[in-house]
Each structure stands twice: as C-alpha cells, then as structure tokens.
Amino acid sequence: MFLVGVSGVARSGKNLFCDMVISELGKRGYSAKQFALASALKRDCENFLKTHCDLDVHTDNTHQKTLFREFLVWYGDLRRKQTNGRHWIETMDDTLSRYTGDIALVSDVRYATYPNDELGWVLYEHEGLLVHLRRYEKSSSAVIEADGSVKVDYVQPPNEHERINDPKMREGAHFRLNWPTVDNPLDNLETRSIVNDVVEEIIELVNK
C-alpha cells in the first residue's frame, strides 16, 4: 500500500482533488481510497455534539461546520498534546493496516508541530508522497501584477493552528499546487492537468 498525504487549509479543495485522483487511478487499473485523520476525531465527538448541541458532525453545511470547527480543533489538539502528536496517526495506522488496496490518500494531513508529526509520518515512516493544495480565485478588483498576471486571492487559514503549520506542510510537500476555483473542475483542462501530473508520479513511485 502506497500512502499519499494531501494537505492545505480548510476549503482548499482537498476532497475534490482526492476524488479526481482516485477516479483517474481507477481508469489506469489501480485501486485507491480516501481516508481522513479527522474521521476518528469526529466519531469521538459525534454523540456529544448531537446530544448537547443538535449538530451533525458529518454535515456538508458550511455554516454548521463553522459552529463546531473550533471544538473539533480543541479536542483534536488535546489528544495530540497528550501523545506528542501521535494519537490520530496511530489510529489511522490501525485503519490502514486493514486496507488491501494499492493506494491510500489521506486528505487532511495538517501538522508539523512535533518531531514525529503528520509531516514526518507521510514522508519518512511511510515513504509516501505529500501534495499541498492552495486554492485561489481571481481577485474581484482585477489588479494586474508587475509581471502582467492577474492578482489572485488565496483561501486563508481559518485558525492559528493552520496559520502556523500550513507553511511547513507546503515547504515539505513534493507537489506545491495552486488549485483554481472553477465551475466544473472535472471538465476543466487546468485541474485535470494538475491531477494527471500527480497521478503519473504516484504510479511511478508505486512501481519502483
């Protein structure tokens, strides 16, 4: 099993990117599946949020997500502090030990705080591939930069944890991608070209 870590701040398009990579790998005969470190965290918090706050931790509603995001960050960080960053990693390793496919994509690799944190887990423990996404859209003010390009606005980190860790993740990534905001990414030449480049590298590494 080959591990691909996908990083980027919230709302960078990581889930969509994983879906596109998995689809493309499938066309080429490779089995791949998406996993998330936060899945175990959400299972831990699911009953409390539903019972006491009437919130669904699995919702796709952006407004609802903002209501409990800080709680999940707090709880996740507490468990990380208790184990020097290892709790969610070891939970994921247990999950991956039962996976029999070719490639696992972990869609929320975010931390490089501790020596054996998520960054090192992907790169050194699994000798995997790390992809960092930075989503952008064209600036509404249409400002032209000095080099003639149109100014773009990048999605910003939603909390202090991501502001601190995201630059470290991007620096450590094999692929540092600028992911455009488009209406139909599945049919967009730019996003498809980005995905194809990553898929080609994954296949090359799998077959080493």
**Paired strand residues for 138:** 152
Condensed to tens digits (0 to 9), the pLDDT of residues 194-205 reads 999 999 999 999
The predicted model scores a pTM of 0.90
List, in order, residues 6 or more apart from 157 with CB less than 8 Å away: 9, 10, 163, 166
Q: What confidence score (pLDDT) does residue 141 get? A: 59
Query: Could you tell me the CATH number of the domain that includes residue 24?
Result: 3.40.50.300
CB 3 within 8 A of CB 130: no
Condensed to tens digits (0 to 9), the pLDDT of residues 97-151 reads 999 999 999 999 999 999 999 999 999 999 999 999 999 987 655 555 566 566 7
Number of domains in the chain: 1
Q: What confidence score (pLDDT) does residue 150 get? A: 65
Radius of gyration of the chain, Cα coordinates, nearest whole angstrom: 18
| Coil/strand/helix, residue 196 | helix
Least trusted range by pLDDT, from 47-56, 77-86, 151-160, 175-184: 151-160
* Domain hosting residue 66, numbered range: 2-206
